[in-house]
């Protein structure tokens, strides 16, 4: 059996001083080349989970294996795209994309070639010499995706990459991401609170609920690609996920009410 790209085994995190949401022991796998989304309301621990996979947070217990090796820090075949693009404001788009290659001491000629390829892939070759502040939000996020892809990651981690964009840009970039993923085929872990976005992009969607965070349901989506965001099957799926989430929120509210009652006794 082929080794999965990512294996999360009973990883959990309790509240600490930082603002990371708590997460009950959680397990799932991501196959090579698979697109997996973690969806849920804020506080469900989806970003916490992604941070642990990225190697930026340490789980309290449990293990995370990427490409068969335990995760001990960032990098090592994993690249990450943040919500606010997090481009280096003092570098041009080109030098931003080149940064990781420089850090890895890739020779100059190869660097230039790979940067050009990555920029062409996200359709940013015409603004290579612009600074981040000269770009729109959507273009900044494209640059950020290029900066991750230039590392040729086997696992691409995306933390609500489109949530700061307007609805139109978001739709366009979702489409673009599908195309880019079909061309480059990394395994993707995509965190979002947008159900339709998750359903549109993913092979597998893990629905998380809060208080404390845990996976409540997993959806396998085998609609053929390339997909259309207006596909009725996707809308139906979204409906189902929404119902499930509503039920969870009601349950959580009820549990909290019960706890309040009990502690009032």
Partner 1 sequence: MSTAAGDGTGGGTGERPGTAARAAGAVAMDLFRKSWFVILILVVWWLISATGLVDPYKLPAPGDVLSTLGTLFTERALLDDLGATLLRLVEGWAIGVVAGVLLGILTGGSRFLEDGIRPVIAGLQAVPTIAFLPLAILWFGFNGTAVLAITAFGTFKPMALATYGAMHQISPTLMMAGKALGARGLFMQRTLIFPAIVPALVTGLKMGWSFAWRALMAAEIVVTGAAGLGGVLELGREIGAIDVVMAVILVILVVGIVTEQLFFTRLERWVNQRWGLVGAR
State the residues that interact with partner 1 by CB under 8 A: 54-56, 73-75, 78-80, 82, 84, 86, 88-91, 99-100, 102-104, 131-135, 147, 151
What secondary structure letter does DSSP report for 133?
G
User: From the centroid of its chain, how far is CA 204?
Assistant: 13
89 vs 224, beta carbon nearer partner 1: 89
User: C-beta of 89: minimal distance to partner 1 in Å?
Assistant: 4
Rounded Cα distance between 169 and 85, Å, is: 14
Which residues lie below 8 Å from residue 35, measured CB to CB, with a gap of 6+?
Answer: 181, 187, 188, 190, 201, 202, 203, 204
178 vs 184, beta carbon nearer partner 1: 184
Query: How many CA atoms, within 13 angstroms, populate the side-chain half-sphere of residue 131?
Result: 5
User: C-beta of 201: minimal distance to partner 1 in Å?
Assistant: 21
91 vs 216, beta carbon nearer partner 1: 91
Q: Which segments of the chain does DSSP mark as H helices, in order?
A: 46-54, 93-103, 108-121, 137-149, 167-184, 195-201, 232-264
Task: Tell me how crowded residue 166 is: count the other CB atoms within 10 A of its CB.
Answer: 11
User: C-beta of 203: minimal distance to partner 1 in Å?
Assistant: 24
> Are the C-beta atoms of 25 and 10 separated by less than 8 Å?
yes
User: C-beta of 42: minimal distance to partner 1 in Å?
Assistant: 17
> Are the C-beta atoms of 82 and 18 separated by less than 8 Å?
no
User: C-beta of 200: minimal distance to partner 1 in Å?
Assistant: 26
> Are the C-beta atoms of 65 and 9 separated by less than 8 Å?
yes
User: C-beta of 256: minimal distance to partner 1 in Å?
Assistant: 31
């Amino acid at each position: 059996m082929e080794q999965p790209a990512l294996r999360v085994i009973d990883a959990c995190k309790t509240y600490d001083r930082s603002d990371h949401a708590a997460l009950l022991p959680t397990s799932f796998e991501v196959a090579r080349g698979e697109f997996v989304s973690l969806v849920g309301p804020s506080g469900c621990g989806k970003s916490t989970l992604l941070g642990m996979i990225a190697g930026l947070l340490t789980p309290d217990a449990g293990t995370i294996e990427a490409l068969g090796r335990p995760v001990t820090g960032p990098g090592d075949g994993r690249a990450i795209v943040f919500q606010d693009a997090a481009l280096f404001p003092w570098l041009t788009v080109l030098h931003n994309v080149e940064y990781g290659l420089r850090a890895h001491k890739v020779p100059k000629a190869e660097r230039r070639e790979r940067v050009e390829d990555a920029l062409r892939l996200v359709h940013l070759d015409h603004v290579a010499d612009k600074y981040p502040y000269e770009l729109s939000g959507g273009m900044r996020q494209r640059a950020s995706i290029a900066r991750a892809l230039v590392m040729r990651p086997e696992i691409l981690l995306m933390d609500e990459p489109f949530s700061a964009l307007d609805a139109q840009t978001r739709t366009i970039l979702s489409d673009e991401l599908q195309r880019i993923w079909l061309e480059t085929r990394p395994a993707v872990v995509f965190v979002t609170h947008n159900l339709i976005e998750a359903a549109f992009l993913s092979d597998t969607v893990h629905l998380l609920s809060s208080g404390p965070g845990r996976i409540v349901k997993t959806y396998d989506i085998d609609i053929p690609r390339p997909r259309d965001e207006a596909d009725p099957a996707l809308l139906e799926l979204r409906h189902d996920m929404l119902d499930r989430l509503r039920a969870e929120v009601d349950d959580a509210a009820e549990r909290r009410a019960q706890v309040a009652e009990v502690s009032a006794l």
